[in-house]
Amino acid sequence: MTNATSLPIEPLEKPFDVTIADLPGSKSLTNRALLLAALAQGRSHLTHVLQSDDSERMLDGLTRLGFEVTFSSQGPDRLEVEVQGNAGRIPVSSAELSLGNAGTAVRFLTAACTLGPGPYRVDGTPRMRERPIGPLVELLERASADIRFLGQPGCPPLEVRGDEPGNATPPSGLSFHVTPTLSSQFISALLLIAPALPGGIEIKFDGAVLSLPYVQMTARLMERFGAEVEAEADWSGIRVGGSGYKAIDYAVEPDASNASYFLAAAAVTPSARCRIEGLGDSSLQGDVRFAEHLAAMGCRVRTGSDFVEVIGPAKLRGIDVNLNATPDLAQTLSVVALFAEGPTVIRDVGNLRVKETDRMAALEAELQKLGARVEVHGDDLTIEARQPGTLLPAEIETYDDHRMAMAFAVAGLRAPGVTILDPGCVAKTFPSYWKFLDRLRS
């Protein structure tokens, strides 16, 4: 990680040919696996766990809740972690959790706190205090939790009280009819605690599930920890039994969202090749589909069960794509669009407005700095380069958003004059990003 206030990105001198076999683990899988291990019966051994600000917030939160957690370094941004589970109960009766801007940690641990008596206080950064959590609180209150907003209604900080006398969950289980909300993390949070509830839960969705791949990821990982999960073929409903979790040994797969930056770098560099190992057709992460979008733009793409490879074409073409299911790819694809002929339309990504920053507004501002034509129509974003690959020099504001920094650095690999402000913000999910990016120069 760099402590500099700005980082000029030097363009590549030639196409690269790189295989990355040690990409740090998925943030999404890491924070899910850490909580599942804590809720399991027995001791879990987790490897390739992501070491970043988000995952450290989760580790700290679990420790403050009384779970026995030990870890050691396993390489750049990777940890080996042992977690002694407590069979679906919170070991301590009260705690204060300061979780920064880690959305998964805030949402998942808020749900987990309902499994103990409380009070538990859950808080974060000023930006986290603006991010919605009300829909999750409504679901948890229907499961007999007692939750109070301590500041702005619908947002952290929160005080959570769970299974006090008289608040026991009905042994027959709970049934929910859920209208899709701004964040799939609300659904994942409820699912993650379901096996610890007597009788489990059943969820029926009144409409399409937002960011469905993340809900599917949650369900599949729960199954690996021994949970009983049944989903309708169209994912219009999910049933989870109340039989608890079992401790396992689990290796976290590489982060598909973070892999997208290196695949994008190959895409915008004619004849460059990037291969990511440990990530492929068998991945639990929906963001692995980024390679499919690059193929539609003209890249040569090869995938297997445990690898994905992209080779950059002589010319890229714009595409029209719906990223509602995988919104974390929007920033990366927007930067690739700067090098494509014709417009790229990214549809149905309104939830970008409630991420680490308002990513819709941030993308519009920073893409325009580089000379692109940008239009926002409702939840759709259209990007077109005035002359593909010919960008204006610009200092890119990152808004304390790791994905803004990582995505826009790709533009600087091909066009001179791109400087990333606050490059250290990548520590949220990928502290060694700049060192990994330098591998493309070797």
Catalytic residues: 328
Cis peptide, bond prior to residue 327, ω within 30 of zero: no
Residues 6+ apart with CB under 8 A from 200: 173, 174, 194, 228, 239, 240, 241, 242, 243
Q: Please state, in angstroms and as integers, the Cα–Cα distance from residue 344 to each residue in 297, 327, 349, 398, 432, following that order.
A: 9, 15, 14, 22, 30
Instruction: Give the sheet arrangement for strand 249-251, strand by strand.
Output: 68-75, 78-84, 43-50, 249-251
Residue type, 428: K
